[in-house]
Structure 1
Amino acid sequence: MWVRNACVFVLGEPLDAARLADALNKRPFQPCGGLNWFSEGWMPAAAHLEGMVYSARERHLVRLLREDKILPPAAIKKALAEKVATVEAKELRKVGRKERLALKEQVTDDLLPKALTKESSIPAFISGNWLVVDASSSTKGEGLASKLREALPPFPAALPRTKIAPHAAMTDWLAACAAPGGFELDEDALLKDGSENGAVVRVSRIDLTSDEIRQHIATGKQVVKLGLIWNEKIRFQLTDTLQLKRIQFLDVLQDEASQAGDDRESLFEATFLLMTEELGELIDALVAALGGLEQSQATPPKAAAVAAEPVETPWA
């Protein structure tokens, strides 16, 4: 239930819960069959729920399920070798490169329907103008946002662009030995030299206010990942692409959630509301610390809805 990573998208307009539920109910997950390598679709937001969307206090939880075929290259290689050997023995000739490629496609098509499968799911929640995807990579995050665009075209979700680039802000915070607002420096960071083949310095469990760290900054290195703690409630790593990694909800929140419900349903709702509220406030505070959103994303909802396409690389 607790989000571990966060790929954040800003929405151009508030989302209608009924429209979201109706759209996702029409696109349920279907098992990967035939010659398909993978299949994606929506599943109930949690194991004990039936609907594709779980909503509480205008916050919405969804979950995308993906099934991938597992077909090891060694299995294809073995089947291909057997096929080639059969053709050469039967026709008393050597199989050429072009024919071998065609045979490889043939044996792959033969094996695919019998391949084992692996399932993985990605949860995400929508709160206000934020879409937060619990994914460890931007590719997976964008994948879920794309599926929402298919279900709810044009679904105006875009990567947030702040007035201050995250790497510039994080470098300044580390140089000043302090982060703004309710944030404080943790004990880990990743610094990179700006040159093409620049050095990378990874530090962990170290005092980030030490002279050693400031010396790295003085030599031109920039911070691309920084450990932070927000309001003594949430520990996380901020990246230069505005992703939140290794999120830990600290004991004060865990205890508060555990005391909020007596059964599975009430505990689930209390945890969901607490998590989305705290993480939403963290994202708001983080964006504010980065100077706020650029004007194009800070316009009123109806005007912002026109700019629905995501930005591939912010702060380029």
Structure 2
Amino acid sequence: MFPKQITPFILTEKLPSADVLNQKLATMPFVPVTGLDWFSEGFTPPAAFSPDLVFAADKTVSVCLKRETKQIPSSALKEILRERVADIETTQNRKVGRKEKQEIKEQIIDELLPKALSASIYSHAVFNSQFAFVYESSPKKAENVISKMREALGGLACKTIQTKMPSKAAMTNWVLRGEVGFSLQLDNYCLLKGVGEVAPTIKIQNKDLNSDEVQQHIKNGLEVKELGLIWREQIAFVLTENFTLKRIQFLDMLQQEAEQHGDDAASLQFAQQLISSANITQLLNELILLCGDLNQDEF
């Protein structure tokens, strides 16, 4: 599976072997949510064709954290609450106060939870010798995957990417000068925002970022929060101020390379995992250098 979004982390210690990792994750397996619980999460096989909790491809491993959450529509909850409050006020000829309403609401939730439908979210992550790639663009969701890995392993030495020059400043400079560097070039998208809570936000799409309009926005004090980039004409993506990669597209050359090595589901996943890990690693290393290298004070 090629990722659509990634929050990367720097690994500062080597992971255990795939076999040991599989044993550790087995202590925290996913179990369906039951009873009055709102949610359940745990590790589940990252590959549909295997029961293993770890899929190894050469020197990379992938894992998957599954979260199942019960869902009670707020409109249904409000309607049942309204009916019960109205019934009490009518039959007992008294007003229902705020505290009692909250107690009735909690009773309704307890009644509905065991019968409520659930929704599942799968968060995949790939680890190599240098990085952990969590296939989430939300820092909160990505941190949760890393937190669960730490819990299962008894510790995991990794940190978010912090560069000497913040990515926001670097992206603004790239757009202002009309070029990036190394194997990266500007695409046709950026998100600009001024300084302050009420500052304007401007989205530029399908437009030359060297245009006078975009340049003037930056000269007026707006900063680049998100920037579309292309790496080696093989991967298109959007870099954010949090150093996450969104809307990743592996272009035809890499897609075809994976397909040539993928005779079945297992070999295809093997190829995709290796290709995506190797290329994203090179891409990130170039981005880090373009942002002045890693901030060693954070390590």
TM-score range, shorter chain: over 0.9
Partner of 1:171: 172
Partner of 2:12: 12
Deviation at 1:264, TM superposition (A): 2.3
Higher mean C-alpha deviation, range 250-259 or range 209-218: 209-218
Letter of the structure 2 residue corresponding to residue 266 of structure 1: S
Map 1:66-145 to 2 at 5 A.
66-88=67-89, 91-145=92-146
Map 1:224-303 to 2 at 5 A.
224-297=225-298
Letter of the structure 2 residue corresponding to residue 185 of structure 1: L
TM-score, structure 1 as length reference: 0.90
Deviation at 1:29, TM superposition (A): 0.5
For structure 1, list consecutive stretches of 5 or more residues without a partner in the other structure: 298-303, 305-316
Higher mean C-alpha deviation, range 288-297 or range 118-127: 288-297
Higher mean C-alpha deviation, range 62-71 or range 191-200: 191-200
Partner of 1:153: 154
Aligned partners of 2:90 and 2:214: how far apart in 1? 68
Q: CA RMSD in A?
A: 1.6
TM-score, structure 2 as length reference: 0.94
1:2 aligned to 2:2? yes
Deviation at 1:224, TM superposition (A): 0.9
1:143-196 superposed Cα distances (whole Å, 9 cap, x missing partner): 211111221233122211111110111111111110011100000011111244
Partner of 1:29: 30
1:221-255 superposed Cα distances (whole Å, 9 cap, x missing partner): 11111100001110000011101010000001011
Letter of the structure 1 residue corresponding to residue 230 of structure 2: I
Deviation at 1:92, TM superposition (A): 4.5
1:110-163 superposed Cα distances (whole Å, 9 cap, x missing partner): 111110111121111111121111113112111211111221233122211111
Partner of 2:218: 217
Deviation at 1:91, TM superposition (A): 4.3
Aligned partners of 1:184 and 1:124: how far apart in 2? 27
Higher mean C-alpha deviation, range 124-133 or range 70-79: 70-79
Residues 194 and 109 (structure 1 numbering): CA distance in 2 closer, same or farther, change over 3 Å?
A: same
Deviation at 1:11, TM superposition (A): 1.9
Deviation at 1:60, TM superposition (A): 0.8
Deviation at 1:104, TM superposition (A): 1.0
Residues 183 and 95 (structure 1 numbering): CA distance in 2 closer, same or farther, change over 3 Å?
A: same
Deviation at 1:88, TM superposition (A): 4.3
Deviation at 1:83, TM superposition (A): 3.1
Counterpart of 1:296 in 2: which secondary structure? helix
Higher mean C-alpha deviation, range 153-162 or range 88-97: 88-97
Letter of the structure 2 residue corresponding to residue 7 of structure 1: T
Counterpart of 1:46 in 2: which secondary structure? coil
Kept in 1, the 8 Å contact 2:137–2:246? The answer is: yes
Counterpart of 1:48 in 2: which secondary structure? coil
Higher mean C-alpha deviation, range 89-98 or range 111-120: 89-98
Kept in 1, the 8 Å contact 2:13–2:158? The answer is: no
Letter of the structure 2 residue corresponding to residue 55 of structure 1: A
Deviation at 1:19, TM superposition (A): 3.3
1:54-101 superposed Cα distances (whole Å, 9 cap, x missing partner): 112221101111111110112222332343345445545333222121
Aligned partners of 1:88 and 1:194: how far apart in 2? 52
For structure 2, list consecutive stretches of 5 or more residues without a partner in the other structure: none
Counterpart of 1:23 in 2: which secondary structure? helix
